[in-house]
Structure formats: C-alpha cells, structure tokens
Amino acid sequence: MTLSRQIFDTVIVGGGGSGLRAALQLAEAGHNVAVFSKVFPTRSHTVAAQGGIGASLGNMQEDHWLWHMYDTIKGSDYLGDQDAIEYMCRKAAEVVYELEHFGMPFDRNPDGTIYQRPFGGHSQNFGERPVQRACAAADRTGHAMLHTLYQRNVRARCQFFVEWMALDLIRDYEGAVVGIVALEMETGDVMVFQSKATILATGGAGRIYQSSTNAFINTGDGLGMAARAGIPLEDMEFWQFHPTGVAGAGVLITEGVRGEGGILLNANGERFMERYAPNMKDLASRDVVSRAMDQEIKEGRGAGPEHDHVLLKLDHLGAEVINKRLPGIREIALKFAHVDPVREPIPVVPTCHYQMGGIPTNYYGQVVVPRGANPSEPVPGLYAIGECACVSVHGANRLGTNSLLDLLVFGKSAGDHVSEWLKTHPRHRDLPRNAAERSLERLARLDNSTSGERVTEVAADMRRTVQQHAGVFRTGTLLTEGVEKIREVGQRARSTAIGDKSRVFNTARIEALELENLAIVAEATLVSAQAREESRGAHAREDFKERDDKNWLKHSLWYLDGSRLDYKPVNLQPLTVESFEPKIRVY
C-alpha cells in the first residue's frame, strides 16, 4: 500500500514550549517547518506551569550562572551532565530576554526589570543563602509562554498540523531518520512526512502512574516512537514526586497547607511524620514526606477501604483560617476529593510530577546512542528536546523552574543545530521501501481486532502496577515483582481490542495507540529501577540506602529489544569551568 506523502525540511513532533521554541528558531531562519500536535498547541501541558523560569538575571540580589550551575548539579545528585548544565545556565539570561522581546508579559519590579521569585533549591554563592531566580508571569507562566511563542510562529509562517498523532519514526538502512508516519484524527488518514531533520518534543509520560499531576495527553508517545526505532531510553528510573496530590485525581494540594498547620495521619489516626522526622515532622522536605507516606501505605496503614492513601487533616485550623489563608484549597478538595476540609481530612498520596529521564541527547538536541567505543554517537537527522529528552540537565532530581528553562535553551540550540545540519545536508534521503509498515501493522491489528481486552482495563492495571512497584518507596522485592507484572501488562497492551472501527475522530483507537507507548515507558521505568542498587535523587531504595558513586555514577540506557540495559558514563567535565566533584548532598 502506498501512502500519500508530504515533504518538509524539518518535522517537529510536539507543539509545547520546547517544540514551539525550536520551530520559531527554524521558521525565522527561513526553513520550512511542520509542527505536529495532538491538541491545539496552546493546550499543550506546558500551560500547567505556574512557578516560573529559572535564570540568574540578578534582578533581586546578586546572582551568577555559576551558582545556578552548582545548584543544578547538586540538585541532580551529581547524575546531571556538567557540559549540558553549564550550557543551560549560561544561556538562561539570553533566552529569557529573548522571550521578553517576543512579548512575554513577565512580572516586573518598580524599576521595570523582570521580577524574580524565590524557589526551593536555588542559592547564592554555592549554597550560602537562598536567591530569587524564578521569572514568572503571575501564576500563568506556562500559558503566557505558549501564547507568546505560538503567535510568533504563526507570523513566521510555521505550518501546524493540529489534531494529528505521530505514530512512528522512519529510519533508513543506515540508521538515519528520514521522517515520520502520522495519523490525522479528523479523517483517519495515515500519511508519510519526509524530512531532512526530525525533532521529538512530545513532553513527559507522567500518565504511567496511577496518581499523576500530568494531563491526560502526557502519554510518552515520543519515547515509544524512539524505543520502537531501536533508540534506548535514558535514566527512566528517575521520576519526581510531589507528596500531596488528591488521591484518585492527582490534583496538587500546595505545600502551604502543611505550612499553615495541616498534618498527615495514617489509618490509625497517628501523626506518623513524628516517627520519620521528629524535628521537621510534616514540614520535612518533599522526598522525605513522600517516602514516609508511601511506606505507611505499603506497610498496611493506609486509610480508606483499599488502604491506599493517607489523610491530610486541617479541620483543626477552623473555617476562618482555611478560607482566608488557603483560598482555593477548599474548592479543590470539594471538587476533586468530594470532602469539605473544614470538616473532614483530604485523602492524599505521593503523586508523580516530572520525568527526569528520556531520549538521550547532547546539548545540541541531537539524539545520541552508543556505537562501538563511542557512548554518544549522534543519530543522523534525529533530535529530541523538552521533557521527552534526557540531555541530561536534571540528572536524578530536577530543580523547580529548570524545566521551562530547559525547553527554551535546548529548543533554541536544537533549532540552530538543525539550521547548520540543513546547510551540509541539502537533500532529502530516500525513504526506505517499507517506510510505514510498522505503523500500518499496528493500525491493522486494531482495525481487525474482534476479541481482546479493553484499553481502559489494561491501562488501569498498568497504572496500578507502576504506582505500587515503582513509587517513592522502592525495594528489590517490590521492583522484581513489578518487572514481571509490567511485562505481562505490556503484552496485554499489544493485544487490546476496540469496538469502534470508524476512521473519523476515533478516540478509542488513539487511546489504544497511546497505551502502547505508555506500556513501553512503564517497562523501561521498572527494569531500570530494579537494576539500580543505590539511592540517588528521586530513586530511593530501602535495601540500598546510600548513593554509590563507585558503582552507579552512570546513566542507565534501556532498549526495547530484549528489554536490555546498558550504561554510559556521566559527563563530569563542564565546558569552561572546573568540574563539581560529587559530594554528600545536605540542605
């Protein structure tokens, strides 16, 4: 079967902050660019970001990119690559000022400079005291960023394919990426898009967890596409959790609630944080609280009929304090937990928030894979940026505000690198003969399915498995069981059936395809976590409580083929400054 085909210089999969930033760089340089998005670009998940963009502008107190670099490396628990981190922190001011010139409505100081907020983990002079580094646009930073970049892309005549789902990468016989196969939702048509360069910017896969702050579209499609094309996924055991997401919903309850005196209780009504952190109690750091909560649940002291959450009690604060100092919390609790916190506690669980791992890249956004003696050989024609990529600036733990920064810096650098690439690679490479075979087979399976499990059932089992076995509290036994279970789920995800066979806006079909991608990410997560016998950043093992730099100062690489693991060294060598040697992390 021959499919119709369109040809572009560059194809970008993803219209979130990173995809739009890269598109702009290319479109303004005069290249013809196609951006694909499952949803209207300004409804990408970047819209959820409120906190801000980190950059050492020094508008509030003295600041320096080197201090930002130190904070990022320390935050990463030394798993971040120091060349990429130096690159990001040095470029931060430039990309923020550019965004300002594009029309981003940043909050301002009375003197007209950009106002900067405080944010955890950011410090002056190598950890001496906190510094205000986050540039924000009220509580709509991500929203403002998307709108600013989108408008500018329209002006630069970037071409958008909205409500299209990319299915697979096309690689030729030499391994170069020569385009994608994509599905138009409105018609059900499948088409080949041939390109000289392809950029994946599909965002995170936080929906592999039962409890997640991520929107439903975050299904890791780019990771699935890369893995199916033989590209490994890096550091997938590292996921950042927030301690208090509403159980069953994932919506965040801000830390401020515990700041105002809210306390956590287990099923027996015990204030368990007194046991885990006698001094700080409920105000201990995010990872400590999350781990304690998860341990209470795993040891059978969870609340509710399924013993699967703990309780955040604030009724003792009284209606007046709740209404006055925690506006919005009552609203959220009523809407998403169906409880009134003035009278009842809110059921909460540690909730997946951010994916540190992803498709391995260098700081030009080029996707890199081990080949022979070289651990990082670029895949010709393929780039990845944003949350789907692992460059790796976040290492084992991301610092707040560094993700939006990552989108801007590496979106731009990938755009620039592609521009150079197009100069030296002016012609399209030929498409291989079976270019769309894999995608068509996946679609044919669903179209011909007469019996099989429902997508929602398999998806629910996957989320439960990942939550239970690769949550915050991890042990060898839990992980080993989890690996077995998730392999089974993976098989089931590839043999689902859908009742709706029509072509037009067939959401059942889209969800089945998304589930295949999620299942790949889930397996990568469990297998990588099971193998890593140490605790580092967000990966905390009960049976290996210490960081082990001798054996584990290295990146995991998981391959779909054979579910195999490989490793590559962490780059401890910055571009121009001296290396920050691993130290014990204390705050």
Partner 1 sequence: MEPAAREQERLRWRSRRGLLEMDLILQRFLDRHLATLSVQDTQAYDVLLDLPDNDFLDLVMGRAEPADDRLGPVLEKIRQS
Ligand X SMILES: Cc1cc2nc3c(=O)[nH]c(=O)nc-3n(C[C@H](O)[C@H](O)[C@H](O)COP(=O)(O)OP(=O)(O)OC[C@H]3O[C@@H](n4cnc5c(N)ncnc54)[C@H](O)[C@@H]3O)c2cc1C
SS3 content of the chain, % helix, strand, coil (to 5): 40, 25, 40
Q: Which pair of structure tokens corresponds to residue 484?
A: 């077995």
CB atoms within 10 A of CB 110: 6
Strand pairing partners for 558? 233, 565
User: Least separation, in Å, of the C-beta of 137 and ligand X?
Assistant: 11
User: Least separation, in Å, of the C-beta of 484 and ligand X?
Assistant: 29
**Contact yes or no for 8/32 (Cβ under 8 A):** yes
User: Least separation, in Å, of the C-beta of 188 and ligand X?
Assistant: 15
Residue 19 binds which one of partner 1, ligand X, none, with CB within 5 to 8 A depending on kind? Answer: ligand X
C-alpha closest to that of 8 among 191, 189, 187, 175: 191
Nearer to partner 1, 107 or 437 (CB): 107
Q: Which pair of structure tokens corresponds to residue 147?
A: 């709108």
Instruction: In whole angstroms, give the CA distance from residue 15 to residue 24.
Output: 11
Task: Look up tokens 């169906």; give the residue.
Answer: 338
Instruction: In whole angstroms, give the CA distance from residue 427 to residue 424.
Output: 9
Size of the site for ligand X (CB under 6 A): 44
Nearer to ligand X, 45 or 417 (CB): 45
Q: Could you give the string, one character per residue 354-383, with x where binding to ligand X holds by CB under 6 A and - elsewhere?
A: x-----------------------------
Within residues 227-266, the interface with partner 1 by CB under 8 A covers 249-251
Cα 369 from chain centroid (whole Å): 20
Nearer to partner 1, 217 or 283 (CB): 217
Among 245, 386, 471, 482, binds ligand X (CB under 6 A): 386
Q: Could you give the string, one character per residue 11-50, with x where binding to partner 1 holds by CB under 8 A and - elsewhere?
A: ---------------------------xx--xxxxxxx--
Cβ partners under 8 Å of residue 229, min gap 6: 168, 169, 171, 177
Q: Which pair of structure tokens corresponds to residue 254?
A: 């801000």
Nearer to ligand X, 365 or 482 (CB): 365
Within residues 151-180, the interface with partner 1 by CB under 8 A covers 163
Within residues 458-487, the interface with partner 1 by CB under 8 A covers none
Catalytic residues: 286
Measured between alpha carbons, how far is residue 20 from residues 14, 89, 153 in Å?
8, 20, 7
Residue 336 binds which one of partner 1, ligand X, none, with CB within 5 to 8 A depending on kind? Answer: partner 1
Nearest residue to ligand X, by Cβ distance, number only: 16
Within residues 326-355, the interface with ligand X by CB under 6 A covers 353-354
Nearer to ligand X, 290 or 530 (CB): 290
Q: Could you give the string, one character per residue 490-529, with x where binding to partner 1 holds by CB under 8 A and - elsewhere?
A: ----------x-x-xxxx--x-------------------
Angle of CA points 8, 12, 18, to nearest 5°: 145
Within residues 320-349, the interface with partner 1 by CB under 8 A covers 331, 335-336
User: Least separation, in Å, of the C-beta of 183 and partner 1?
Assistant: 12
> Positive or negative CA dihedral for 240, 486, 167, 219?
negative
Q: Could you give the string, one character per residue 211-240, with x where binding to ligand X holds by CB under 6 A and - elsewhere?
A: --xx--xx--x-------------------
Q: Which pair of structure tokens corresponds to residue 570?
A: 């962490």
CB atoms within 10 A of CB 368: 23
Among 122, 133, 147, 555, binds partner 1 (CB under 8 A): 147
Nearer to partner 1, 265 or 510 (CB): 510
Nearer to partner 1, 186 or 488 (CB): 186
Q: Does 38 bind ligand X (CB under 6 A)?
A: yes
Nearer to ligand X, 13 or 518 (CB): 13
Q: Does 401 bind ligand X (CB under 6 A)?
A: yes
User: Least separation, in Å, of the C-beta of 446 and partner 1?
Assistant: 15
**Contact yes or no for 193/398 (Cβ under 8 A):** no
Nearer to ligand X, 48 or 553 (CB): 48
Instruction: In whole angstroms, give the CA distance from residue 13 to residue 32.
Output: 14
Going by the DSSP 8-state scheme, the letter that residue 467 receives in this structure is H
Q: Angle, to 10 degrees, between the axis of helix 82-102 and the axis of helix 141-155?
A: 70
Burial-class residue 438 by CB neighbours within 10 Å (0-12, 13-18, 19+). Answer: middle
Measured between alpha carbons, how far is residue 33 from residues 7, 11, 388, 472 in Å?
10, 6, 20, 41
Residue 163 binds which one of partner 1, ligand X, none, with CB within 5 to 8 A depending on kind? Answer: partner 1
Judged by CB under 6 A, which stretch of 163-171, 232-240, 359-367, 536-544 contacts ligand X? 163-171
Among 10, 116, 213, 355, binds partner 1 (CB under 8 A): 213
Within residues 126-145, the interface with ligand X by CB under 6 A covers 141-142
Going by the DSSP 8-state scheme, the letter that residue 337 receives in this structure is I
User: Least separation, in Å, of the C-beta of 277 and ligand X?
Assistant: 25
Among 41, 75, 232, 358, binds ligand X (CB under 6 A): 41
Q: Is 452 left (phi over 0), alpha (psi -120 to 50) or beta?
A: left
C-alpha closest to that of 555 among 360, 281, 276, 341: 360
C-alpha closest to that of 302 among 350, 231, 259: 350
Residue 250 binds which one of ligand X, partner 1, none, with CB within 5 to 8 A depending on kind? Answer: partner 1
Instruction: In whole angstroms, give the CA distance from residue 118 to residue 135.
Output: 9
Helix H or strand E encompassing 313: strand 310-313
Q: Which pair of structure tokens corresponds to residue 58?
A: 């020094």
- Binding residues for ligand X, per CB under 6 A? 13-19, 36-39, 41, 44-46, 48-52, 141-142, 164-166, 201-204, 213-214, 217-218, 221, 353-354, 386-388, 401-404, 407
- Binding residues for partner 1, per CB under 8 A? 38-39, 42-48, 140, 143, 147, 163, 185-186, 212-217, 249-251, 331, 335-336, 500, 502, 504-507, 510
